[in-house]
């Protein structure tokens, strides 16, 4: 991402606490993204090439899933103009009071039973930039779809594969689930605070511009607070930008070869890469990125494995451990301190 040099300085949000002491709720995971598109058939064709599967298609909407147990992770609604339609988070099934607290918050809609595939209940909110954020509960799970085994990789000092040829073929990715969403915001400090206070997200890392560290963080990676249960390094990221808009969503696939092979497949189907191969060092993720038929980027990322060097002093990055991305152990939230001046905005976000 290119950050215009004309952006005004930010207030030093590095001084803000990385978590809210008393959020309205603590969501468990990012659940889905929504797009609006005039041609549902073209959107379905793209997402099948990308690696998603149709759960249900009605005259008005398309519901797509990965191979994991999530009911759907992408909704495409029919509309006159191509647009981003918002995204959502999942709340624990037994936290009915949490849904009611959200419904009572300023600007929130009521708790409604979802009249769509997977059913469940939800409250619709608007974040400070006006993006629709739906918090849902009780959406049905599905049986996982069959998929291939992860590739076996040789590394220095470790040679588990000998005389065993592997030939990944260009094909749609084996998408398992939605991994994260990235939003652009002209007021990231306010946006970050809203997600911390309302949904209980925790800042895992701040990124700074290498040449303007005095401006404060230009990007924040936010994870879900699952208590002692490890969470992804980030389910949401917010990056400073002149406009408030969706930037991209990323989808977890089986391994690194899945990223390359599916990217090659999409390229052969007329797609184009907007960033090509990239790595998010904060979360130790790798990805390749291209535009969706909505004009919005989607990327694939292998099952995350990460260490999480925080940009903040020891103990200030919040309580819940991260990941799948490996990060800190359940007993030790975040430990190592990294000079914020040494951080650079990650190239693939």
Q: Is residue 326 a contact partner of residue 284, using CB atoms and an 8 Å limit?
A: yes
List, in sequence order, every beta strand (DSSP E) within 127-242: 132-137, 177-185, 202-207, 219-223, 236-240
Residues lying near Fe ion in the complex (CB under 5 A) are found at 250
Q: Is 182 helix (H, G, I), strand (E, B) or coil?
A: strand
List the Cα angle 92/286/213 in 5-degree steps. Answer: 90
Rounded CA separation 83/124 (Å): 18
- Helix, strand, coil shares, percent, the chain, to 5: 15, 30, 55
Alpha helices, H only, 221-284: 256-268
Instruction: Provide, rounded to whole angstroms, the least separation between the CB of residue 347 and Fe ion.
Output: 11
Alpha-carbon distance of 280 to 277, in angstroms, equals 10
CB of 248 to Fe ion, least distance (A): 6
| Nearest residue to 76 (alpha-carbon basis) of 105, 98, 93, 56 | 56
Burial class (CB in 10 A: 0-12, 13-18, 19+), 139: buried
Residue 189 CB coordination number (10 Å) = 19
Per this entry, what is the length of the chain? 349
The arrangement of strands across the sheet holding 112-113 comes to 53-57, 61-65, 74-78, 29-37, 83-90, 132-137, 121-126, 112-113
Do 105 and 194 contact (CB within 8 A), yes or no? Answer: no
Q: Give start and end residues of each alpha helix (H) in the chain.
A: 40-50, 96-103, 188-199, 256-268
* Collapsed DSSP state (helix, strand, coil) of residue 101: helix
At closest approach, how far in Å is the CB of 250 from Fe ion?
A: 4
């Amino acid at each position: 991402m290119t950050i215009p040099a004309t952006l005004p300085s930010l207030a030093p949000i590095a001084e803000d606490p990385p978590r809210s002491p008393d959020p309205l709720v603590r969501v468990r995971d990012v659940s889905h993204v929504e797009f609006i598109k005039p041609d549902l058939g073209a959107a379905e064709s793209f997402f099948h090439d990308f690696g998603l599967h149709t759960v249900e298609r009605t005259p008005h909407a398309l519901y797509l899933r990965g191979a994991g147990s999530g009911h759907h992770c992408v909704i495409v609604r029919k509309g006159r103009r191509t647009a981003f339609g918002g995204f959502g988070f999942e709340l624990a099934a037994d936290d009915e009071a949490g849904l009611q607290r959200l419904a009572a918050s300023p600007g929130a809609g009521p708790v409604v039973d979802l009249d769509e595939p997977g059913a469940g209940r939800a409250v619709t909110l608007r974040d400070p930039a006006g993006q629709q954020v739906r918090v849902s509960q009780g959406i049905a799970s599905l049986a996982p779809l069959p998929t291939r085994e992860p590739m076996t990789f040789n590394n220095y000092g470790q040679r588990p594969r000998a005389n065993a040829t592997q030939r990944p073929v260009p094909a749609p990715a084996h998408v398992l689930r939605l991994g994260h969403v990235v939003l652009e915001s002209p007021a990231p400090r306010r946006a970050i605070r809203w997600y911390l206070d309302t949904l209980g997200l925790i800042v895992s890392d701040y990124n700074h511009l290498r040449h303007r560290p005095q401006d404060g963080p230009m990007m924040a990676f936010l994870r879900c607070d699952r208590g002692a249960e490890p969470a992804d390094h980030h389910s949401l990221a917010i990056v400073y930008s002149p406009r408030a808009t969706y930037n991209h969503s990323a989808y977890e696939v089986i391994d690194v070869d899945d990223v390359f092979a599916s990217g090659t497949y999409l390229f052969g189907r007329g797609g184009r890469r907007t960033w090509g191969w990239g790595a998010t060092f904060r979360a130790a993720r790798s990805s390749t990125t291209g535009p969706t038929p909505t004009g919005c980027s989607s990327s694939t990322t292998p099952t995350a494995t990460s260490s999480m060097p925080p940009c903040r002093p020891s103990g200030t990055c919040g309580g819940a451990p991260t990941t799948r991305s490996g990060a800190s152990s359940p007993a030790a939230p975040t430990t190592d301190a990294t000079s914020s001046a040494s951080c650079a905005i990650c190239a693939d976000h």
